Structure 1
Amino acid sequence: MDKSRVEAFTDAVLAIILTIMILEFKTPVSFSIWAIDNQLPYLISYAIGYLFIGTAWYNHHYMFAKTHRITKAVYWANNFWMFTTSFLPVATSWVGRGFNEQGPEIFYGIVYFLWSLAYLLLSKTLILANISDRHEKAANSIRQMRIYRFMSNWKLVLIQVILVVLGLIYVPATQMLIVTLEIVFVGARFNKDSDRLFNS
């Protein structure tokens, strides 16, 4: 399968998701700067979502740049990952309206869990595709990604789940803090060669 077509399709879907997210932001009726106050919870939720997608896109680009061939399994794993990502605007909007409410935060947690599962599946599928094509170096590069190492470590995932569940019980909004910290300290810690992929 043509890798560039899959990447272009993925880019288009992510761009649409980001567009939907910003369209949920409501322009205040008043011209007072303080009228934005009512939108602050959504702005925070939107900023986290934007960081989420931006970081995911960078990692996705890295994995696909390393991969030489897109198999049917990779194609469907990528579709599943995009499907889970497409729920982010709904989760972001609902959390923005109830930032410290259990219902919206539980839904966000479910979306984030499914997204993580889909991302791990996509990563593993890409690793297997590269091994099958005898591109061990590419497979190893994906294995070395911090986000992959974190998601494939069941002990770290279990600790995160426990922290999120406790947060959802006592202070639901702490989940957004946990997600942000994971994005910044795990997802955004890219491989050293990630900015030199296409250097001549």
Structure 2
Amino acid sequence: MITKQRLEAFSDGVIAIIITIMVLEIKTPHAADLESLKPLIPVFISYVLSFLYVGIYWTNHHHMILAAKSVNGKILWANLNLLFWLSLIPFVTAWMGENHFARWPVIFYGIILILNSLAYKLLAYMLVRHHGSDSVLNKAIGRDLKGWFSIVVYGIAVAASFINSSAGLILYFLVAALWLIPDRRIERSVNS
């Protein structure tokens, strides 16, 4: 029997490794003066943005699995799909920071954000399909306008990054800020 606890524990482990990989990309300067930290500013900003996104996915994943009663093989594969796209965040984070938010790294960062969002939606869909349209999970997720809105903004950010990568970066931060406002739909549904 497949348990949701194993899925959540494995996912938690992978997400912890993703965060660890990201922080290890911040190289310690060899000099001891404040000036030596200056080149690390873009790397740190990239790390902060990605840490926010990974944290957002972790908390939302936790709430979604909390609302699930069980999982099946299709859900396991949908979860692995999400973890695959999440595992690419350290790469695009490092690329973007090391290259001071140049056009192509910022564009690819947005593409990875889109693919993460779609993978999360697929996992949510598979969970709802497994539990039925009358399930607590389906009622909690609803139409997920915030999720669809995020994907649209990511697309706009990718397009804007072809012209000005700073515009794309600002939009990525704005979407992250939108998700920092806790989404209590699932918590309310599970606790009621």
Task: Settle same-fold status: TM greater than 0.5.
Answer: yes
Aligned to 1:164: 158
2:146 corresponds to: 150
Distance 1:95 1:68 in 2: 39
Q: What is the distance in 2 between the residues matched to 1:6 and 1:29?
A: 41
Question: Contact (CA 8 Å) 1:99, 1:105: kept in 2 or not?
Answer: no
User: How far is 1:197 from its partner?
Assistant: 5.7
Q: Give the 3-state SS of the residue equivalent to 1:94 in structure 2.
A: helix
CA contact (8 A) 1:120 1:152 kept: no
Q: Which moved more, 1:83-92 or 1:135-144?
A: 135-144
Percent same amino acid among aligned pairs? 29
Residues of 2 paired with 1:196 and 1:29: CA distance?
52
Q: Tell me the equivalent position of 2:90.
A: 89
Which residue number corresponds to residue 36 of structure 2? 35
Deviation at 1:38, TM superposition (A): 0.5
- CA distance, structure 2, for counterparts of residue 115 and residue 90 of structure 1: 14
Q: Give the residue type in structure 1 aligned to 2:71.
A: I
1:61 partnered with 2:62: yes
Residue in 1 that maps onto 2:23:
22
Check whether the contact 1:55–1:188 (CA below 8 A) recurs between aligned residues. no
Distance in 2, matches of 1:40 and 1:159, equals: 25
Q: Given that residues 99 and 105 in structure 2 are in contact (C-alpha distance below 8 angstroms), is that contact kept between their aligned partners in structure 1?
A: yes
Amino acid at match of 1:30: A
Q: Structure 1 residues 193, 118: CA separation in 2 closer, same or farther (over 3 Å shift)?
A: closer
Structure 2: 5+ residue stretches without partners: none
**Cα drift, residue 158 of structure 1:** 4.1
Aligned residues: 191
CA RMSD between the two structures: 2.3
The two structures have a TM-score, normalised by structure 1, of 0.86
Give the ranges of 4+ consecutive aligned residues of structure 1 lying more than 6 Å apart after TM superposition. none
Whether the aligned pair in 2 keeps the contact of 1:106 and 1:168 (CA below 8 Å) is: yes
Do 2:44 and 2:97's aligned partners in 1 also have CA atoms closer than 8 Å?
A: yes
